[in-house]
Homo-oligomer: A and B are copies of this chain.
Amino acid sequence: MRAVAERLGVSPNALYSHVETKTALLDDTLDDVLAAVEASPPDAGDPTVGIHALMASTYRVLLAHADLVPFYLARQGARGPNAQRLGDVMLALLARGGVSGSRAREALHVLVVYTIGSAAFATRSPLATGDATAPAGDHDAHFDRGLRWILAGISLPPG
């Protein structure tokens, strides 16, 4: 808050004429950021490719705003109109891929958890296993590989 106020050349408490609380401001900011996620229309092309592209775009956008990611997780995902839109597109893509109902909601949840979690882990880098620090460009490749695994798993018949 105080840093934002300084950036605006205004006293800290002046912000409270425009914003309810710090959390509300972050919520709004997060949803603004999600506007940059590219979601191509869900009714064209291979739905699996569409899902992959949407999650990859989300991952990139989150990485570009790394400081917001911990907050994103603390809030357990966004709830603004842009988050809604992305969720709806995802469900449409899943439906076209033959996944619907509670299975689709579970799939969406898994994909969201994995994507936000990956962004959180990538932002400062060493793996949880005590491995040496991975080169920065590797994160995208790692994310991509894991995403493919999950998509492959989802498309399997229910166990």
Q: Are A73 and B70 in contact (CB under 8 A)?
A: yes
Question: In whole angstroms, what is the CA distance A73 to B72 when docked?
Answer: 11
8 Å CB interface, A105-136 against B: 105-110, 112-114, 116-118, 120-121, 123-131
Question: In whole angstroms, what is the CA distance A110 to B76 when docked?
Answer: 19
Given contacts A105-B129, A105-B131, A109-B127, contact A117 B153 (CB under 8 A): no
Having A74-B120, A109-B142, one finds 15 other A-B pairs with CB under 8 Å, namely: A76-B121, A76-B124, A77-B126, A77-B128, A78-B128, A79-B128, A87-B129, A110-B142, A112-B128, A112-B129, A116-B117, A148-B153, A148-B159, A149-B153, A149-B154
Stoichiometry (number of copies): 2
Residue A25 is within 8 A (CB to CB) of chain B in the complex: no
Residue of B nearest to A118 (CB): B113
| Chain B contacts for A12, CB-based, 8 A | none
Closest-CB distance, A92 to chain B (whole angstroms): 12
Given contacts A130-B84, A142-B106, contact A117 B125 (CB under 8 A): no
Q: Are B79 and A149 in contact (CB under 8 A)?
A: no
Closest-CB distance, A13 to chain B (whole angstroms): 25
Question: In whole angstroms, what is the CA distance A121 to B130 when docked?
Answer: 24
| Chain B contacts for A152, CB-based, 8 A | 152-153, 156, 159
